[in-house]
Chain A
Amino acid sequence: MERVMMKGNEALAEGAIRAGCRFFFGYPITPQNEIPEYMARRLPEVGGVFLQAESEVSAINMVYGAGGAGARVLTSSSGPGISLKLEGISYIAGAQVPCVIVNVARGGPGLGGLTPSQADYFQATKGGGHGDYRLLVYAPGNAQEMVDLMGLAFDKAEEYRNPVMILTDAIMGQMMEPVVLPPLRTVTAEQPWATTGKQGRKKPNLINSLGIVGEELERINIELQAKYDRMAAAEARYEADGTAEADLIVVAYGTSSRVARSAIARLRQEGKKVGLFRPVTLWPFPQAVLASLAADGKRFLVVEMSAGQLVEDVILAVNDRAKVSFFGKLNGTVPTVREVYDRIRSLLPEGGEG
């Protein structure tokens, strides 16, 4: 299989093209600009449409229109832009329209900075916009996963008629790595529920999130929650590296997991038993596996580029069965391998304070 070097952002974009995405609506914001720039170049080559919207708000509503019309459609942004898109994301979730949304996260709150961050975890996994809704959230760990999870994201978005988010960060987006690209898929936009014009159908198709009459809203929410239960049962993904024999398990995703992997490699060379647990889906969170590792008496260290967001899900999963420590970096600085190495050592039985 031929390997090509691609920037993470470009791998996401090409991954979408390969998955049959032919529509992109977006708005410029650093550090994700490679995605719209790539799409502006690439979509016309495959008969698709790239449109730079007047705002993040318009972009997500164009996505809602195109997704409702049955097409595979992508948008991408970074934290401040995702905040603006949340109105539309809530409508899309409520109306059960498939689409894929990328967040190449940067430091916040507010205008924040351009450096990488994992502080949008809550926004991605706990709803973000108004109402009881869930996104399926993937966190790629390398450029190959940028491609592969993008393909999966489109399939799952359609399977569940639900928006899917890919949450990554500036480092993962800017980094180049070898990838093997899957073949180009052509997907016809023929969904029985989509707005196409009635085309001889007896009943019109309606894409809607309004439940204003009687107990309609409760019925809608019961249906949504049943769908989220199905997703939670079937869609959790993770990577567990050396967790069975480990004394301590580092839990991290995205860039933090890369740094942790380097630190763990050093510790293993010294004979230490350290594992890496990397959630690939942030929602649904791979709760059951962590719970059983906790029951086996493992200790956990959560490494994040935030003040502590993923760590809350780990604590919930572990549910007092094990000790959970936390190491976070703020202001968009990436933890160094040495910092993570030192922190892990300090927690190991023979390593000092632990």
Chain B
Amino acid sequence: MTYEIICAGFGGQGVMLIGQLLAYGGMLEGKEVTWFPSYGPEMRGGTANCSVVVSDQPVGSPVVAEPDGLIALNGPSLMRFMGSVKPGGVIVYNASLINEVPEDRPEVRLFGIAANELAEKLGNDKVGNMIALGAFLGLSKVVGLASIEAALKEVLPERRHHLIPLNISALHKGWALVEG
């Protein structure tokens, strides 16, 4: 079983971080994982994305072209990647910044969350990425919530560790949205 994910958004929205958490969480579950960032000129224009592969076998290509899952935190990212998501796949997008879904994909599970507003309600507008990740985990079940919580300690630098409880609440908030 191999599960491929693209996380995409504006620079500063924390898409690299949620990608790393997915990979790290997968590793903590004993799976084979890769994380690959967009870099160099691709980063111009303020958009960023990363590819994550979680598998029970050694991972082949770390560059994901046809993802099983997509987390799109802004409009351009949804526009660019939603067409490539495999039938039966999952898309979580940020409804705070996307009023209209650009394409019709009836064979894909599409879930919009108002990440910005929900994050503000939690008291920190930076955790919209975590809410989206929580929702994505709830839908895809690719990595367990507990593994992501454990990964936070490894991925976040020491000076950010005081924010771990807030990040965990945000993850649960997102998870609850899709479970509820």
Interface residues of A (CB under 8 A from B): 3-5, 30-31, 113-115, 142, 170-171, 174-178, 255, 258-265, 334, 336-338
Contact = CB atoms under 8 A, between A and B. Distances in A.
B20 A5 contact: yes
A265 B58 CA distance: 11
B34 interface: yes
B36 A175 contact: yes
Given A5-B20, A5-B154, A258 B40 contact: no
A5 B27 contact: yes
A203 to B, nearest CB: 52
B35 A175 contact: yes
Given A5-B24, A338-B66, A258 B59 contact: yes
Contacts of A178: 27, 32-33
B151 to A, nearest CB: 9
Interface string B38-66: 01110000000000000001111111011
B37 A262 contact: no
Nearest to B33: A178
A337 to B, nearest CB: 5
A348 to B, nearest CB: 19
A261 to B, nearest CB: 4
6 contacts: A31-B40, A114-B40, A171-B62, A177-B62, A258-B62, A261-B61
Contacts of B65: 336-338
Given A142-B58, A258-B61, A338-B65, A174 B39 contact: yes
B60 A174 contact: no
A30 B41 CA distance: 11
Contacts of A263: 60
A174 B66 CA distance: 20
Nearest to B41: A114
Contacts of A255: 61
Contacts of B41: 113-114
A264 B57 CA distance: 13
B11 to A, nearest CB: 16
Contacts of A171: 36, 62-63
Contacts, number: 73
Interface residues of B, number: 24
Nearest to A261: B60
A177 B34 contact: yes
A178 B63 CA distance: 16
Contacts of A170: 39-40
Given A31-B39, A114-B41, A337 B61 contact: yes
Contacts of A337: 60-61, 65-66
A31 B61 CA distance: 19
Contacts of A115: 40
A115 B36 CA distance: 13
Given A5-B154, A174-B36, A265-B57, A334 B63 contact: yes
A264 B63 CA distance: 16
A30 B59 contact: no
Interface in B60-86: 60-63, 65-66
Contacts of B36: 171, 174-176
Contacts of A259: 60-61, 63
A174 B42 CA distance: 13
B132 to A, nearest CB: 20
A262 B23 contact: no
Contacts of A175: 34-36, 62
B155 to A, nearest CB: 8
Contacts of A177: 33-35, 59, 62
Contact of A176 (B20, B32, B39, B60): B20
Contacts of B62: 171, 175, 177, 258
Contact of B34 (A4, A30, A176): A176
